[in-house]
Each structure stands twice: as structure tokens, then as C-alpha cells.
Chain A
Amino acid sequence: QKEVEQNSGPLSVPEGAIASLNCTYSDRGSQSFFWYRQYSGKSPELIMSIYSNGDKEDGRFTAQLNKASQYVSLLIRDSQPSDSATYLCAVDTGRRALTFGSGTRLQVQP
């Protein structure tokens, strides 16, 4: 079992819809969780971090964390074609480097 799992996609949503990206992790002791966005040919950029159970909103993005179920999700409201990218879930498992999932490719159809 991978430590951080994501569906590779592609996840295709129409413009204006809500995109829901999911991630599960195996280390129950993990405390810090991150979502990064990576456009093709570019490096990852941090979208959000979340540390506590529940929701955290930042603009069109909402991160959700459920430590009991060991999942973290990212909702993107009013999806735009410019949101088309690969979204990486990352978990602080106590190692110095974050543990990354392999990413979910999102396609927003105009």
C-alpha cells in the first residue's frame, strides 16, 4: 500500500462545476497535509495546508481533513479551464521530506 494514494485521473469536469479531489494516507500519526498544483512542464506550487479536522476555505478552494478516516480532499468551486493541472496531495509523515501522492490530473472542459 502506498503511503499517500490519489486517483491518477483524469478527472474531467465542466467549467463552473465543483471539482472534488481525494487523497488517502496510511500513517495515522500524520499531522500536516498539503495540496499542491502542478501545471504541465512547471514545478509544484502550494495551494493550501490543513492541520485540523474539518474544512479550510481559501477563495474557490476548500480543503477537508478527516483524520479518523485518513483522508484529505480538495474542492474547487466554479472550476475554470485554468484550473486544469495535476493536483498533488502531500503529507508530513515525520520524515524530513513530505510524502507526495502521484497526483490527480484535472481537466476542466470549457
Chain B
Amino acid sequence: GAVVSQHPSWVICKSGTSVKIECRSLDFQATTMFWYRQFPKQSLMLMATSNEGSKATYEQGVEKDKFLINHASLTLSTLTVTSAHPEDSSFYICSAKGLAGRSTDTQYFGPGTRLTVL
């Protein structure tokens, strides 16, 4: 299957700082990448969708100025949580869909990043 990596796998930061999470598709080119957040014992929540070279589309209720997404290439998307607060502590998971050669409708997930804001 397709491999998607995320870095870091976990991060602890102080309130008010910014945290950047990277998502890479390692063996395919991703047309579209998605960012999800998941709180304990809750469902996946889609935060935003990004295409390479264009602005991300944010889901309703997700602050685009707080969660900055950059999709710099067909293999890399970053999520920056700006001025993080304890309520931003969550499990952040990226997902990618591929170009031809990989099933273009299948989403492959990264391993996730656990963010804890003190």
C-alpha cells in the first residue's frame, strides 16, 4: 500500500507557541491531502483539504488563521497550529489521495501526531 509519514509523532509545547506538523507521501504523488483531528474516544473530524499549490479549504468551524496549511509539493503538506492552547491538544492525522498509479479515490493515512499543549 501507499506510505504516508508524519513528523513529529508526538510533541509537547507550551501554551502560546506554534507547532508545525509535516505530512509526506513517500512512494506516490498526492493530488490532495487532508488534515483530521481526533479527540479521545471520538470520531475523526476533517479539518481541511489541500491541493498542491492552492489554498486549503477549511471545514466549517475550523479557524484558518489558527491552523495554517501549506501544500508545497505533491509529496508534502504542513499544518501549523499557531498560538496553541491546551484545548488544541489532540491527535492530528493527515491523509493523502494519489495520482494515477495509485487508486485515486483511496485515502491513505499517516501515523498521526499527538499534540499536548501545557
Complex Cα distance A101/B43, Å?
Answer: 8
Chain B residues, CB < 8 A from A90 = 107
The reply to whether the CB of B29 lies closer than 8 angstroms to some CB of chain A is: no
For A36, the chain B residues whose CB sits under 8 A away are 109
A49 within 8 A of B: yes
CB-based contact A44/B109 at 8 Å: yes
Residue of B whose beta carbon sits closest to that of A45: B109
CA distance A98 to B91 in the complex (A): 19
The answer to whether B106 touches A97 (Cβ under 8 A) is no
How many B residues are at the interface, by size bracket? Answer: 20 to 34
For B105, give its contact among A43, A88, A92 (CB under 8 Å): A92
Whether a CB of chain A sits under 8 angstroms from the CB of B112 is yes
Q: How far is the CA of A102 from the CA of B43 in the complex (A)?
A: 5
Given contacts A43-B111, A97-B34, whether A49 and B103 have CB atoms under 8 Å apart is yes
Q: Distance in Å from the Cβ of B84 to the closest Cβ of chain A?
A: 21
26 A-B contacts (beta carbon < 8 Å): A32-B105, A32-B106, A36-B109, A41-B91, A42-B111, A42-B112, A43-B110, A43-B112, A44-B44, A46-B1, A46-B106, A46-B107, A46-B109, A49-B103, A90-B107, A92-B105, A96-B57, A96-B97, A97-B34, A97-B49, A97-B95, A98-B105, A98-B107, A100-B43, A100-B44, A103-B43
Chain B residues with CB under 8 Å of chain A are 1, 32, 34, 43-44, 46, 49, 57, 91, 93, 95, 97, 103, 105-112
